[in-house]
Amino acid sequence: MDVELKIDGKNIPLNEYVTKVFSSVILGLVDTLHAIPEDWETLQIEVNKKK
């Protein structure tokens, strides 16, 4: 699984451990949602810091 982290448009390098943690946590959360098709290919999450 590929995981990409960008902050303010800048790619942040992730090591193998962080990639696995992000994947596991995000997939665990998404799997609890009923409206998500099982055959999805790309998942995008955007977080905006409130000012």
Output the pLDDT for position 33.
93
Output the pLDDT for position 17.
97
- Give the integer Cα–Cα distance in Å for 13 and 31: 26
Higher pLDDT, 18 or 51: 18
Give the tokens for residue 50: 């409130």
Q: What is the pLDDT of residues 3-43, one digit of tens each?
A: 999 999 999 999 999 999 999 999 999 999 999 998 999 99
Give the tokens for residue 51: 């000012």
Q: What is the pTM for the complete model shown?
A: 0.78
Q: Where are the domains of the chain?
A: 1-51
Q: Which DSSP string do the residues of 1-51 spell out, in sequence order? A: ----EEETTEEE---HHHHHHHHHHHHHHHHT-TTS-TT------------
